[in-house]
Amino acid sequence: MLLTHPTVIERTLSHFGFSHIENRGNEIRCGHDDYRNKTSIRIRLDDNPYLYVNDFSDAYSGELFSFIIRAKDTNFRSVISFIKRELNIDDYGISQRSSIFAGAFDKLTRKRSLSAPPQIYDAAILNSYPKIFAKRFLDDNISISAQNEFDIRYDPDSQRIVIPIYSSSGELMGVKGRANWDIADDEPKYLYLTPCRCSETLYGFAHNYRHLVNDTIYICESEKAVMQAWGYGYYNFVGLGGNRVSDKQCKLMVELLPKRIVLLPDVGLDWTVTELNARKLMSYTRLLDIQIGWWDWRKYHDPDKASPTDLGVERLEQIIKTEIEWGD
């Protein structure tokens, strides 16, 4: 884990612009830049399995990845990619043998080793799809900024909107295509342009990582819902890529130690599916201080098959603030 590679922590801090980095044996001290307190940031090197950082100048405490993302306005993919290069880890990288990531990632690693890792693709394959914003998405409350953030593209051959799917560590693991026309009842809305095991990741996990750690995680079914929420200013949504939460997806969320996990099913989804999802999440959080909640669409009168995010930002806010129910 990174605690046994303090020089990598130091190089990471230096790479992202922190200053006056000093290893004091039992802790690393540094400053934000050359103009502020040069010892205001502390990373303990003993009894700190989750690599928590104390930033005394900003009264902030959080794990290393979230801290760097927040302090330097970067993204999860950039941080994890740099660390993997420093430790000479391959594309998928997070293996039990390497055991580099403290706390959450180490435990996640041991679980992953039991099954074959998902296929990872060179991100260059996206270059075959032009970067064109989708009017259909814009009409569906997915803003231009959200489409840009999630790298939405277009496939002229299949005439589908291209949605890249990323792993929890930010690598490309598939490409989904959404029909750019009004489909018939027997016609598939989504197809995989590049195969993907969506149950092995959470859509939006790498994009929204800093907002998911030690906070509330909202779970929707689709990628579209995550992008809609992002455009509304909600950055703590993830998508299942289906309607059932997998064991892998449970582990990804629980390892972030959120305060709450909330299920937001589409209107009309068989309620037993939501009940099963809630029970599964509860089984993973039984010994942790994490609340599990859900929205029971059956008590309201929203359009059938609509995601809560389809209903607009005002209705979504009402659902989040007043209509969530909590498990015991």
Residue spans per domain, the chain: 2-112, 123-197, 200-326
Mean pLDDT of the chain: 87
The whole-number pLDDT of residue 110 equals 42
What is the CATH class of 123-197?
alpha beta
Burial class (CB in 10 A: 0-12, 13-18, 19+), 151: middle
C-alpha count within 13 angstroms, C-beta hemisphere, residue 129? 24
**Could you tell me if residue 151 is left (phi over 0), alpha (psi between -120 and 50 degrees) or otherwise beta?**
left
Domain 2-112 has CATH 1.10.287: no
**Higher-scoring residue by pLDDT: 94, 260:** 260
278 confidence band (pLDDT: 50, 70, 90): very high
104 confidence band (pLDDT: 50, 70, 90): very low
| Burial profile 80-105: b = 16 or more Cβ within 10 angstroms, e = fewer | bbbbbebeebeebbbeeebebbbbbb
CB atoms within 10 A of CB 70: 17
280 has a pLDDT exceeding 50: yes
Q: What CA–CA distance (Å, rounded) separates 105 from 281?
A: 19
In CATH terms, 200-326 corresponds, of 3.40.50.1370, 3.40.1360.10, 3.30.460.10, 1.10.540.10, to 3.40.1360.10
115 confidence band (pLDDT: 50, 70, 90): low
112 has a pLDDT exceeding 90: no
**For 250, phi and psi rounded to 5 degrees?**
-60, -45
Q: State the pairing for strand pair 60-63/52-55.
A: antiparallel
The whole-number pLDDT of residue 107 equals 41
307 has a pLDDT exceeding 70: yes
231 confidence band (pLDDT: 50, 70, 90): very high
Q: What CA–CA distance (Å, rounded) separates 313 from 143?
A: 12
C-alpha count within 13 angstroms, C-beta hemisphere, residue 232? 21
145 has a pLDDT exceeding 60: yes
pTM summary value: 0.77
The whole-number pLDDT of residue 1 equals 61
113 has a pLDDT exceeding 60: no
Q: Is the dihedral of CA 171, 137, 70, 215 positive or negative?
A: negative
